[in-house]
Structure 1
């Protein structure tokens, strides 16, 4: 697998962020996203013909819902964010905005649950093994990208990731700003090893859930409920110490967002606001389009 595929598998977030590098690209990326989602899911599950047809319909219906229901909400968010980008951003405000974004993720997953439950119950033993092998492959990619043997290489990889996102908004950061990012990343309690360990847990839990539901011959409602409980645990870890760790990671991440924004110049803040205006324009157009 080439480097581009490995990066895509390791971090869908970065793929999405980098897709939004120009207003025209936003519209192209969103209108093609259903194909990308299907491609990624098929790599994971290796659909048969019947599953392939059903999954394509489910993805199309999900994006119809998302375009009509969610994009208008995102545009309102971006309108507020433009004004906020021009002023100081406190850690409290950063956490409030992060909570909004998480809410979008929860809602998007919940909307997909019925189709996911149907897919899970249709998987053959060979497809479950295929998923397990796919997970192992992507985990190897993640280790290659972010869990190098040298701690400095790990910090450099994490800082590079954050700098790409920051410079998408603010433009090129100067040396002092880049050094600030590197210093803050090194001091964060959350690191790539934590992310990797969590991903292993949720991958294991997902595989166990599939096998348990199939062994029990679960009804659609039972499968949906089990998936919703699994996703709830992802967002709200039920046990310590992970619950407290997650809260600490979020709090320090919000402080970092605030401190980085404080380091930017008025020109960089205006660039961030303009980026958000461009995205708002694109999302308004997308929300009105018929796919």
Structure 2
């Protein structure tokens, strides 16, 4: 479920020429992802497709105008120096929209969850085992310097697609930010597995106890809340620190950008806004 939601964000951060095409393909991509995870039967497949299409229509109608406004506000911010709290405000609004999306998704997903059987839940557990192996190879392989180098390559690629080519000072800045980050791959793996196990346990309770629609919605919403809430005080502090550092790091990098880089960023955000507005139109 979380990966399906992340698909919305990932598509919106691609090159502007792909936003419209990617978003229009989102129902199909979402179904493929869910089916590979769960392995629906024929009836379940129809249920899932209907729920995804309804969620897509809701998202297009209710969420895209908010995203377009966020792009407009961020574009205005990008013209000059920014403060971390300004960026945190944008991220908070994006999180609020994600919560609204999840509220809608939980209602639509409940009948699909109620129809899942032991075979699907077993398939899901095995699917996650395979995905976790791939995740560990990407993030846990090698010593700390090798892991940092891979994180740096990914981060530079993401920022370069937005600002254009980064200079040596900016590259060094990003490397320093990553090296000082409280995030560690080992804790990332534990958190990933915790969330998977939590969702699987909730789906098992739904299936074994034959819960009602309302009870199923409560179970799924509880999973979402726990996904966002670290399990102990230590991890909660890490999550809060990561959120604040994200805003601070981005503000710090943006404030080192050249006029040409800021112009490129502004044009990219304007293109995002334009594509989102076109998607809203009937």
Unaligned segments of structure 2, at least 5 residues: none
Q: 1:140 to 1:52 in 2, by over 3 A?
A: same
* Structure 1 contact 17–165 (Cα < 8 Å) conserved: no
Unaligned segments of structure 1, at least 5 residues: 1-8
Q: Does 1:154 align with 2:126?
A: no
User: Which one of 242, 253, 272 corresponds to residue 246 of structure 2?
Assistant: 253
| Within-5 A mapping of 1:91-240 | 91-237=84-230, 239-240=232-233
2:64 aligns to what?
A: 71
1:270 aligns to what?
A: 263
Tell me the TM-score normalized by structure 1: 0.91
Tell me the TM-score normalized by structure 2: 0.93
Q: 1:30 to 1:168 in 2, by over 3 A?
A: same
Say which SS state the counterpart of residue 204 (structure 2) adopts.
helix
Alpha-carbon shift at residue 238 of structure 1 (Å): 5.9
Alpha-carbon shift at residue 179 of structure 1 (Å): 1.7
Whole-Å separation in 2 of the counterparts to 1:23 and 1:95 = 24
* Structure 1 contact 213–223 (Cα < 8 Å) conserved: yes
1:187-225 Cα offsets, whole Å, 9 max, x none, are: 111133322211110101111111122222211100101
Q: Which moved more, 1:268-277 or 1:142-151?
A: 142-151
Q: Does 1:54 align with 2:47?
A: yes
User: Which one of 254, 274, 278 corresponds to residue 281 of structure 1?
Assistant: 274
User: Which one of 234, 243, 246 corresponds to residue 241 of structure 1?
Assistant: 234
Whole-Å separation in 2 of the counterparts to 1:18 and 1:176 = 30
RMSD: 2.0
Q: Which moved more, 1:227-236 or 1:72-81?
A: 227-236
Whole-Å separation in 1 of the counterparts to 2:245 and 2:9 = 24
Q: 1:129 to 1:101 in 2, by over 3 A?
A: same
* Structure 2 contact 38–123 (Cα < 8 Å) conserved: yes
Alpha-carbon shift at residue 89 of structure 1 (Å): 1.5
Q: Which moved more, 1:61-70 or 1:174-183?
A: 174-183
Whole-Å separation in 1 of the counterparts to 2:106 and 2:77 = 34
Q: Give the total of aligned pairs.
A: 281
